[in-house]
Amino acid sequence: MIDLKYIRTHPQEVRNAILNKNEKANLDAILALDENRRKLQYEYDQLRSKQHQVSQIIVLKKRNGEDVSELLSEMSEVAEQIRALNAQLTETNTQLENLLLTIPNIPHPDVPIGKDESANRVIKLWGEKPNFTFTPLDHLELAEKNRLLDLPRGAKISGSGFPVYTGIGAIWERALINFMLNFHIQKHNYTELAVPVLVTRKTMTGTGQLPKLEDDMYRIEADDLFLIPTAEVPVTNFFADEILPQDRLPIKFVSYTPCFRREAGSYGKETKGLQRLHQFNKVELVHFVEPSTSYQALEEIREDAEEILQALNLHYRVVELCTGDLSFASAKTYDIEVWAPGLGKYLEVSSISNFEDFQARRANIRYKDTQGKLGYLHTLNGSGVATPRLMIALWETYQTKEGTINAPEVLKEYNVPEITESSKRW
């Protein structure tokens, strides 16, 4: 959420942000409602103040046995006006709040302005595309050969986009999650959180998924709960409506959860194999920081996520998103894209964003600085990383001429078996 006072004083800047992000929001309506609200508030305050004063007079007169019936009937009218004003005020505030929730975050000035991903900037390449002496298979072919996945049965159980990992495929999945969690906990000093995957509407609004993306969320209608699209939602809201002392910052959480996305409107786009799913697993990194340090923290999370790919020795690139490709709540985002040799393309495995105080305002997360002053802290997060596309890159990168798959060194510590002919155990 953008500060209403800021909108009032910098309307053009907000207008540009909405435009550059390809969003729609009615700024004029907000400004008009704001003005009306302040007018109503003033009138309401005046009348309430009068009511308080007369109330004291009534008390005194009654005590002296004087007649107060005239005052009462006079005040009865004032009360009626107050009720009417209050109703208008409540209505105005509700409308204003609802509209405010539709204003996207303002991109950081450094972010390249652009309509879509064609304006994104590749800012880094790490490693090289592996060379094969044979034509590499894609992950689906490899999975079939080695019985690592069963997508048809997943579709039978739940519909398309709900994968079943089988045998060693499942073991690798579990090991990867464990590896990434331990890596961030031990090397990067994160605290692990195991959180609910069903959350309330308020929680979903706090991080900015609602109201905009309701159609993309799975919803449990009977209880008005939502399945989380990312651990960002429950983890960031962990401190909702709280005030943290500055000396506790930064706070860094890592959390593994399954993630659920309806992907409404994206059917047919890059859906082959594990590329786009309704349910997948992800390890997420979340930071709560003092505002002046948030861009430093953004780089830190990017490095933390990159190190996972480095440890697995996978080629990847880092992309800085342009304004048109930024998410609703983000001020600046990096995507990390890993190379998938079988598919012959880069796949997004991590998205790292600084939300500045946008989520903190929505979720009401503040901090108290050393002078005792209150302010909204900054929140950030990044995938560290999502497993399906990571798995694609792993299988496709570590495949052999025989169609088997070697295990990366770091996963061997997790007793991950090599994937060979004899791996087909069922």
> What residue ranges bind RNA (CB under 7 A)?
4-5, 38, 41-42, 44-46, 48-49, 51-52, 54-56, 58-60, 62, 72, 75-76, 78-79, 82-83, 87, 90, 374
Is residue 8 annotated as part of the catalytic site, yes or no?
A: no
Secondary structure of residue 219 in the 3-state scheme: strand
Q: What is the smallest separation between the CB atom of 317 and RNA, expressed in angstroms? A: 42
Cα dist from 421 to 26, 31, 131, whole Å: 61, 67, 23
Of the residues 263, 348, 366, 418, only one is catalytic, namely 348
Of the residues 173, 306, 389, 396, only one is catalytic, namely 389
Supply the DSSP symbol for 295.
H
- Residue number with CB closer to RNA (55 or 158): 55
Is residue 262 annotated as part of the catalytic site, yes or no?
A: no
Of the residues 261, 302, 361, 362, only one is catalytic, namely 261
Pair 193, 235: CB distance under 8 Å: yes
Is residue 389 annotated as part of the catalytic site, yes or no?
A: yes
- Residue number with CB closer to RNA (24 or 52): 52
Q: What is the smallest separation between the CB atom of 374 and RNA, expressed in angstroms? A: 5
* Distance between CA atoms of residues 391 and 388, nearest Å: 5
Of the residues 351, 353, 383, 423, only one is catalytic, namely 351
- Residue number with CB closer to RNA (374 or 425): 374
Supply the DSSP symbol for 315.
-
Q: What is the smallest separation between the CB atom of 39 and RNA, expressed in angstroms? A: 8
Cα dist from 23 to 318, 329, 419, whole Å: 25, 11, 47
- Residue number with CB closer to RNA (61 or 156): 61
Closest CA to 332 of 362, 363, 308, 296: 296
Is residue 83 annotated as part of the catalytic site, yes or no?
A: no
Is residue 35 annotated as part of the catalytic site, yes or no?
A: no
Phi, psi of 284 (to 5 degrees): -120, 140
* DSSP code string of 73-135: HHHHHHHHHHHHHHHHHHHHHHHHHHHHTTSPPPPPTTSPP-SSGGG-EEEEEES-PPP-SSP
Q: What is the smallest separation between the CB atom of 201 and RNA, expressed in angstroms? A: 12
Q: What is the smallest separation between the CB atom of 4 and RNA, expressed in angstroms? A: 7
* Distance between CA atoms of residues 54 and 115, nearest Å: 60
Of the residues 276, 302, 361, 362, only one is catalytic, namely 276
- Residue number with CB closer to RNA (70 or 128): 70
Active centre residues (catalytic): 261, 276, 348, 351, 389
